[in-house]
Amino acid sequence: MSALAARKAEARKAAFARRKAAHEAAGPGRGGVLSSFLAGYRGVPLAGYLPIRTEIPPLAAMEEAAAHGPVGVPVVEGPGQPLRFALWEPGCAMEEGAFGVLVPVPQLWMQPEILIVPLVAFDRAGYRLGYGGGFYDRTLERLRAQKPVLAVGYAYGAQEDADLPLEATDQKLDLIITEAEVITP
């Protein structure tokens, strides 16, 4: 294992512990800042995510957005590939996709202009540490090559890490939203 890979593994381990503690301590209203931010973008195609493990859930904000315009969720098509986004609505039919993540049935594709990005850790410069598969980095690179996309990292404030191990392929987020604030790099 390279030194960078070892640093990333250690950073993930510490961030997962902080995220778990924040998730367990979180009460209602943790999505209020995200909802308020997205209210200024009603009708703009956006993609969120269906939370797994202790990820901060964006579902309330996604439900509000779905009342005004298209909302999608990520679909993993294979290792090394960017994500695609399937249209999602509250209560739509779902099935298990890759990595055990639920995906809408049928899969009707959409292209987001706003992408809510889950993460393991973030810094105030706009970088994130993900799970290590590179899916969001490849996806953001592909989307940005086609047209502007607003990449919004969504996390608990406790997931902040001022010393993230970064690589040249890491895509910068446009902003990070926590349960308490909007961080503009």
Task: Give the per-residue pLDDT at 101.
Answer: 83
Q: Give the residue ranges of the chain where pLDDT is below 50.
A: none
Task: Give the per-residue pLDDT at 89.
Answer: 96
Task: Give the per-residue pLDDT at 84.
Answer: 97
Fold category of 3-74+111-183 in CATH: Rossmann fold (3.40.50)
Per residue in 128-171, pLDDT (tens digit) is: 999 989 999 999 999 999 999 999 999 999 999 999 999 999 99
Task: Give the per-residue pLDDT at 175.
Answer: 97
Task: Give the per-residue pLDDT at 134.
Answer: 93
Residue 37, burial from CB neighbour count under 10 angstroms (0-12, 13-18, 19+)? middle
Domain residue spans of the chain: 3-74+111-183
